[in-house]
Amino acid sequence: MASDDVKLIGAWASPYVMRPRIALNLKGVEYEFLEEKFGSKSELLLKSNPVYKKIPVLLHGGKPICESLIIVQYIDEAWSGHSILPSDPYHRAVARFWGHYIDDKWFPALTGISRAPTDEAKKEAIEQVFAGLKFLEEVLEKSGAGKPFFGGDTIGYIDIALGSHLGWLRATEKLSGLTYLDESKTPLLVCWAEKFSAHEAVKCAMPETDKLVEFAQMLKAKFSAYIDALSPSITLFSSLNYICSL
C-alpha cells in the first residue's frame, strides 16, 4: 500500500510509537512517519486525537486510530500476511491480558521507581518490576513451548507489547548499574530480548541505547531546575514519563 494512504504520528524515542511501527513492518505496509517535535503538539495530532492528545496515532485513509495496542490490533485485522494475534479466541484473550498487564502494572512499576518518596518505596517498586519479569518469563515458557517468541516461531502481540520497552530498559541499566534482564533470573527473556531486537521488523524501529541516554541527558539539561537532584537512573525514568505524556 502506498505511503500516502498510511501515516503514523509519533516520536522516535517513544516505546508506544515503536509498537505500531513494528506491526506495520511485520505486515510489509509502507507508511509515512510524521515526527512530532518534543515539547509541542502538532495541529494534526490534536485534531486526530482530541481526547488524549497523545502519540501514537495511525492515519489510514485519513481516519485516525489511537492508543498503541489498539493500533496494533487494528493493523493485524486490516492487513493480511503476518499474524500478530493468535487465531484461537482463548489465546487471543490471553495475549490481550498480558498486553494490558504490561501497560497497567509492569510499566507503571518501572516508572514508579522515580516517583518513590522513600528508599523503602523505591525498593518495593524495583521488586515489583522483577516480579513482573518473572511472571512474563513463565508466560514465555508456557506460550512459546521452546520457541523463540511469545508468539511462537514469529513475533506476536505480547512480543510487541513488552519488546517496545527494551531500548529504555537497556539505557536505564547502562546508567543505573542495575540489571533488569538477568540471565540467572530470567534466562528465557534474556534470549528472547536478543532475538527480538535482531529481527528485521524491529531493528529499524528500536532506538539506539546511547541515543536514548543522550536524549535523557538533554532533557535533564533542559529541565535542570526541576531535576538537578535526581540520579542518572531516575533521570531516565523522568525522561520516559515525559515521552509518554506526548
Architecture of the domain whose range is 89-203? Up-down Bundle (1.20)
Which CATH class for the 3-78 domain? alpha beta
Closest CA to 212 of 235, 189, 192, 180: 235
Domain limits, CATH 1.20.1050.10, in the chain: 89-203
Q: What is the pLDDT of residues 16-29, one digit of tens each?
A: 999 999 999 999 99
Domain limits, CATH 3.40.30.10, in the chain: 3-78
Q: What is the pLDDT of residues 152-180, one digit of tens each?
A: 999 999 999 999 999 989 988 887 788 99
Q: What is the pLDDT of residues 34-43, one digit of tens each?
A: 999 888 899 9
Residue 63 pairs in a beta bridge with 60
Q: What is the pLDDT of residues 81-127, one digit of tens each?
A: 999 999 999 999 999 999 999 999 998 888 887 777 888 988 898 89
The structure's pTM equals: 0.90
